[in-house]
Chain A
Amino acid sequence: RKEVEQDPGPFNVPEGATVAFNCTYSNSASQSFFWYRQDCRKEPKLLMSVYSSGNEDGRFTAQLNRASQYISLLIRDSKLSDSATYLCVVNVGDMRFGAGTRLTVKP
């Protein structure tokens, strides 16, 4: 089993749609969690940290379920500029990246 597993995607959605990404992790000792986005041939950029209580940043909502070892990212009212690969990241002393889920938002 991979340390961090994500929905394989790709997700192709129309503008304005709501899309959700899921991620599971295997190490119960994981301390912190993040979502990064990576545009084609660019570096990963931090999208948001994920807190136990859940957190929201504009159109983006992240949830963490430690009991189920599950993380989610919800994007509301998706924009063309949201098209990217979304990486689930778990910190177990060093960062472990999921393979990413590709999102394409179409007009």
Chain B
Amino acid sequence: NAGVMQNPRHLVRRRGQEARLRCSPMKGHSHVYWYRQLPEEGLKFMVYLQKENIIDESGMPKERFSAEFPKEGPSILRIQQVVRGDSAAYFCASSPLTDTYYEQYFGPGTRLTVT
């Protein structure tokens, strides 16, 4: 049973370009979460999605950031017009149900570097 998969593992973008980060949840998991971790800081919740629905995006910056989880295919975190401050590790996690007692399992992360 493959774990949570994320790609690319490393992504370099110049300022103003777009970054697309992909996440495939564990088999049988229908809930996806995105987190951002800045260097030497803790994880910050960004968004929670189910298939074709955004459930909670309270942690998403108001501009340039968007996320989707289509009926088919991976979840995508999209960052438009990247700036240096977007450089961070972006982790995706999945869980089988929305029940708060269920643990989340993390992917290996995508390290975004904006030059």
In the complex, A70→B106 CA distance in Å? Answer: 25
* Contact code string A78-104 (vs B, CB < 8 Å = 1, else 0): 000000000100011111111110000
Question: Judging by beta carbons under 8 Å apart, are B109 and A43 in contact?
Answer: yes
Smallest Cβ distance from B62 to chain A, in angstroms? 18
Contacts of B101 in A (CB 8 A): 31-32, 91
Q: Is A42 an interface residue (CB 8 A)?
A: yes
Q: Known contacts A43-B107, A44-B106: does B100 contact A97 (CB below 8 Å)?
A: no
Q: Which A residues from 32 to 75 make CB contacts under 8 A with B?
A: 32, 34, 41-46, 49
In the complex, A99→B104 CA distance in Å? Answer: 17
Q: Known contacts A31-B101, A32-B101: does B48 contact A94 (CB below 8 Å)?
A: yes
In the complex, A95→B102 CA distance in Å? Answer: 11
Segment of B39-47, B70-78, B80-88 in the binding face: B39-47
Question: Judging by beta carbons under 8 Å apart, are B106 and A45 in contact?
Answer: yes
In the complex, A26→B45 CA distance in Å? Answer: 17
Question: Judging by beta carbons under 8 Å apart, are B103 and A46 in contact?
Answer: yes
Question: Judging by beta carbons under 8 Å apart, are A87 and B100 in contact?
Answer: no
The size of the chain B interface, using a CB distance under 8 A, is 24
Most buried by A among B44, B101, B111: B101
Q: Is B52 an interface residue (CB 8 A)?
A: no
In the complex, A91→B98 CA distance in Å? Answer: 11
In the complex, A48→B52 CA distance in Å? Answer: 31
Smallest Cβ distance from A101 to chain B, in angstroms? 11
Question: Judging by beta carbons under 8 Å apart, are B105 and A46 in contact?
Answer: yes
Question: Judging by beta carbons under 8 Å apart, are A91 and B100 in contact?
Answer: yes
Q: Which B residues from 48 to 70 make CB contacts under 8 A with A?
A: 48, 56, 58-59
Q: B residues within 8 Å of A by Cβ?
A: 33, 35, 41-45, 48, 56, 58-59, 89, 91, 93, 100-101, 103-109, 111
Closest 3 CB pairs of A and B: A99-B42, A43-B106, A31-B100
Q: A residues within 8 Å of B by Cβ?
A: 31-32, 34, 41-46, 49, 87, 91-100
Q: Contacts A46-B103, A95-B33 given; 19 further ones with Cβ under 8 A? A: A31-B100, A42-B109, A43-B106, A43-B109, A44-B91, A45-B106, A46-B104, A49-B103, A87-B42, A87-B43, A93-B56, A93-B100, A95-B45, A96-B45, A97-B35, A97-B42, A97-B43, A97-B44, A98-B42
